[in-house]
Structure 1
Amino acid sequence: MPTIKTEYLGELRTEATHLQSGTVIITDAPTDNQGKGEAFSPTDLVAGALGSCMITIMGIAARRDGIDLKGSEMEITKGMSADAPRRIARVEVRLNMLTDRELSAEEQARLERAAHTCPVALSLHPDIEQAVEFVWNVAEKA
């Protein structure tokens, strides 16, 4: 059974529907590739998928260890190759990790390893540079 149904809407735009949930994502070609840039581009989704996968796998490992990562954020920068063929050359992910308590160096390393072994990171072509930075902070108690 398919996971996603995607329709080409014309004008370099698609509408992808996640069949289990009904969630819809619109993509648009970027302005530097003949598009309007009014939505995520397909390559933006690849870069975003890397970050989302990393933090999800970290969340699974953190939950197992009784660590709360709620409120953590990430910034993702995608770089396209300057030469042909057009492709993603580099994805920078800065994970601003917010924890409920001070973590030991071992706990941080375990979570960072989890991020680097997420399915998207392991599925991307090895020519795509994955530059990942972790910044660790403890949440202030309200």
Structure 2
Amino acid sequence: MATIEIIYQGTLRTQATHVQSGTKILTDAPIDNQGKGEAFSPTDLLAASLGSCMLTIMGIAAREHQINIENTTCAITKIMAASPRRVGELKVDLKFPEKYSDKQQKILEKAALTCPVYLSLHPDIKKSVNFNW
């Protein structure tokens, strides 16, 4: 069974449905690539996937080690490259709501940098990760 089903709705818009839950996401081409920019672009979703994955895997590690990371935030800046048009760099800025010991910081950093999305990205995509403790 498929994980995601996607329908092209015309005018450079798609609707993706998560089959198990029925949750839907719209995408639009960005304004700088002939689109409306009224929703996430497919490359925005790539960036969002990285941040969500890092936070999720840190959450698993935090739960295992009794570390509270609730309200941790992740801001991602996506930088496009040309020829061919692609994601050239993802700048990740993680901000934590409280202070952690050196050991806890190492646990959380390792978790973030070994999330499946981070490890799946092509090595040509520069990944700059800033941990704001």
TM over 0.5: yes
Q: Which secondary structure state, in structure 2, belongs to the residue aligned with residue 66 of structure 1? A: coil
Q: Which residue of 1 aligns with 2:32?
A: 32
The CA RMSD over aligned residues, in Å, is 0.8
Q: Which residue of 1 aligns with 2:46?
A: 46
Q: Which residue of 1 aligns with 2:70?
A: 70
Deviations 1:6-57 (A, max 9, x none): 0000000000000111110000000000000000000000011001100100
Q: Which residue of 2 aligns with 1:85?
A: 84
Gaps in structure 1 of 5+ consecutive residues: 137-142
CA distance in 1, matches of 2:39, 2:28: 5
Q: Does 1:134 align with 2:131?
A: yes
Length-normalised TM-score, structure 1 = 0.91
Measure how far apart 1:67 and its partner are: 1.0
The alignment-based identity, stated in percent, is: 59
How many aligned residue pairs are there? 133
CA distance in 1, matches of 2:22, 2:58: 26
The farther-off stretch of 102-111 and 45-54 is 102-111
Length-normalised TM-score, structure 2 = 0.97
